[in-house]
Structure 1
Amino acid sequence: MSAIPAARSFGQPAMRAARAGLTRGRIELRHTFTNAQDLWNYTFPAILLLVVLFFMRGATVPGTSFSLSSRTMPSALGMSIAFGGLVTMAMALTIDREDGTLLRAKAIPNGMVGYLVGKITLVSGMGLIGLILQLVPGLLVLDGLAVRGVSHWLTLTWVVLLGLVATMPIGAVFGSLIANPRNMGLVMLPLVGLIATSGIFYPITNFPVWLQWIAQVFPIYWLGLGMRSALLPDDLAAVEIGESWRHLETVGVLGVWAILGLVLAPIVLRRMARRESGSRVAERREKALQRIT
Structure 2
Amino acid sequence: MSAMTSGQTVETVGAVTGTGTTDDAGRQRAPWSEVWRIGRVRMRVEVLQLTRNTGLLIYTFALPVVMLLLFGSIFRGKIAGTDATYQQVYATGMIGMCVINGALQNLAYQVATERHTRALKRLRSTPMPAVSYFLGKVASVLAATLAQVAVMLTVGVAVMGLRLPTSPGPWLTFTWVLLLGCTACSLLGIGLSGLIRSENGSAVVWLPIMVLQFISGVFIVFSTLPKPVQEIGAVFPVKWLCQGMRSVFLPDSFKYSEPAGSWEHGRLALVLTAWCVVGLVMCLKTFTWRGRDDG
TM (norm. structure 1) is 0.84
User: Is 1:165 equivalent to 2:183 in the alignment?
Assistant: yes
Equivalent position of 1:126 in the other structure: 144
- Find the aligned partners of 1:19 and 1:215 in 2 and give their Cα distance: 41
Partner of 1:136: 154
- 1:210 to 1:166, Cα distance in 2 relative to 1, 3 A: same
Shift of 1:38: 4.1
Q: Which residue of 2 aligns with 1:148?
A: 166
CA shift, 1:127, in A, is 1.5
Residues 212-221 or 100-109, more deviating:
100-109
Distance (whole Å) between structure 2 residues aligned to residue 201 and residue 245 of structure 1: 19
> 3-state DSSP class of the match of 1:181?
coil
Q: Is the 8 A contact 1:21 1:114 kept in 2?
A: yes
Query: Which position in structure 2 is the counterpart of 1:61?
Result: 79
Q: Tell me if the contact between 2:157 and 2:163 (Cα under 8 Å) persists in the aligned partners.
A: yes
Distance 1:231 1:94 in 2: 35
Letter in 2 for 1:137: V
Q: Which position in structure 2 is the counterpart of 1:45?
A: 63
1:233 Cα shift?
A: 1.3
The partner residue of 1:244 within 262, 275, 278 is 262
Correspondence 1:89 to 2:107: yes
The amino acid across from 1:52 in the alignment is L
**Aligned-partner residue type, residue 104 of structure 1:** R
CA 1:124–1:14 in structure 2 vs 1: closer, same or farther (change >3 Å)?
same
- Counterparts of 1:5-16 in structure 2, within 5 Å, are 6=20, 12-13=30-31, 15-16=33-34
Shift of 1:48: 0.9
CA-CA distance at 1:15 after TM superposition: 4.6
Task: Tell me which amino acid in the other structure corresponds to 1:79.
Answer: M
Structure 2: give runs of 5+ residues left out of the alignment: 1-18, 22-27
The alpha-carbon deviation at position 108 of structure 1 amounts to 2.4
User: What is the rounded CA distance, in whole Å, between the counterparts of 1:38 and 1:203 in structure 2?
Assistant: 28
Q: Tell me: CA distance 1:210–1:19, structure 2 relative to 1, closer, same or farther (3 Å).
A: farther
User: 1:32 corresponds to which letter in structure 2?
Assistant: L
Residues 105 and 111, structure 1, Cα contact 8 Å, conserved in 2:
no
Shifted more, 201-210 versus 10-19: the winner is 10-19
Q: Indicate conservation of the 8 Å contact 1:82/1:223, yes or no.
A: no
User: Runs in 1 of length 4+ with deviation above 4 angstroms?
Assistant: none
Counterpart of 1:106 in structure 2 is 124
Query: Is the contact made by 1:42 and 1:129 (CA closer than 8 Å) also made in structure 2?
Result: no
Give 1:258's match in structure 2, choosing from 251, 276, 288: 276
Query: Is the deviation greater in 212-221 or in 19-28?
Result: 19-28
> 1:52 Cα shift?
1.9
Per-residue CA deviation, residues 95-147 of structure 1 (Å, 9 max, x unaligned), is: 10122210012212454222222112112211211111111221233325322
Q: Structure 1 residues 186 and 62 mapped into 2: Cα distance closer, same or farther (>3 Å)?
A: farther
Is residue 61–residue 203 contact of structure 1 (8 Å, CA) maintained in 2? Answer: no
Which residue in the other structure is 2:46 paired with? 28
1:267 Cα shift? Answer: 3.2
Deviations 1:14-38 (A, max 9, x none): 5523432332222331343345334
Residue equivalent to 1:289: none
Match of 2:91 among 69, 73, 92: 73
Q: Equivalents in 2 of 1:281, 1:39: separation in Å?
A: 30
Aligned length: 272
Shift of 1:259: 1.2
Which structure features the higher share of helix residues?
1
The corresponding residue for 2:233 is 215
Q: What are the ranges of 5 or more consecutive residues in structure 1 without an aligned counterpart?
A: 283-293
Letter in 1 for 2:204: L
Shift of 1:217: 0.5
